[in-house]
Amino acid sequence: MNRNLTSWYSPAVNRDMPIASYGHYGFALLLIPTAAADYLEYERFQLLDALAPFIDGGKMRVFSIESMNKESWMNHAMVPEHKAIRHNQFNEYVFNEVVPFIRNATSNETMIYTCGASFGALHAMNLFLKRPDLLNGAISMSGVYDLTEYTRGFWDQQVYYNSPMHYVPNLTDQWYLDKIKASHHIHIYTGSGAYEDPDSSRRFSKLLYDKGIWNDLDVWGNDIIHDWPTWRKMLPHIIGTKF
């Protein structure tokens, strides 16, 4: 498959940010890393190999970016208010730099779907819900959608605005709701095995439905654990059957 690595100095986060892209044609899948990982994590754990038939066949292009979690919610030496600031800078990097980069590499009509596993699942969903005018849907695997799971008791307005479980119930702006509802690709998948939290996915799916937002919830069995073999199986299934 076509593979390209590049980077640029990001004004939003004030440092160089690398990005990997794979493929030559199709809709764009924007991968958000898990936990404290980097932009090559999905490649190292062979998720790109699992997606190769779709990439080589021209169904999709994949773009994988750097995580900022080590500089925000997972930096426990950092003042909590500064974690929230850094997280918002990451959001702006995606909206103002990554999305235009993808558009330039593809077209203005190309659909862009965020995707992530574990902590990346929350980020993928949050990014889409915050800017449904720029992004067309989200695939979230093995996630929780309550940011306070990661904030160690800290709470402020910026935690609220980045915690889908908290802000979605209060969404009343019809413009946002219509944009979100227009997506046919809000996929919430999880296992029921070790270190998975299927109830979190169920709660969030119901919350969306209560707002009239369609979503695809799929809870897999007790043999499906919170680890890479799950996501190597899960994501190709979603791409192959839902797109």
Express each pLDDT in 104-121 by its tens digit: 999 999 999 999 999 999
Q: What is the pLDDT of residue 9?
A: 98
Q: Which long-range contacts (CB under 8 A, 24 or more apart) does 210-213 make?
A: 210/169, 211/168, 211/169, 211/171, 211/177, 212/177, 212/181, 213/177, 213/180, 213/181, 213/186
**Which has the closest alpha carbon to 46: 241, 239, 233?**
233
Q: What is the CATH number of the domain that holds 21?
A: 3.40.50.1820
Cβ-contact 207, 238 below 8 angstroms: no
Cβ-contact 47, 235 below 8 angstroms: yes
The Cα 186–Cα 181 span in angstroms is 9
Query: Half-sphere exposure (CA, 13 Å, Cβ side) for 168?
Result: 24
Within 8 A by CB and 6+ apart from 77, the residues are none
Q: What is the pLDDT of residue 23?
A: 98
Encode pLDDT of 152-209 as tens digits: 989 999 999 999 999 999 999 999 999 999 999 999 999 999 999 999 999 999 999 9
Q: Kindly state the tokens that stand for 81.
A: 């208010």
Q: What is the pLDDT of residue 36?
A: 81
Range in 21-30, 75-84, 219-228 with the lowest mean pLDDT:
75-84
Cβ-contact 87, 49 below 8 angstroms: no
The Cα 187–Cα 88 span in angstroms is 24
3-class SS at 21? strand
Encode pLDDT of 24-82 as tens digits: 999 999 999 998 889 999 999 999 999 999 999 999 999 999 999 999 999 988 898 99
What is the pTM for the complete model shown? Answer: 0.97
Cβ-contact 148, 163 below 8 angstroms: yes
Q: What is the pLDDT of residue 60?
A: 98
3-class SS at 199? helix
Q: Supply the range of the domain harboring residue 222.
A: 3-242
**Count of domains forming the chain:** 1
Within 8 A by CB and 6+ apart from 149, the residues are none
Query: DSSP of 80-111, one letter per residue?
Result: HHHHHHHHHHHHHHIIIIIHHHHHHHS-TT--
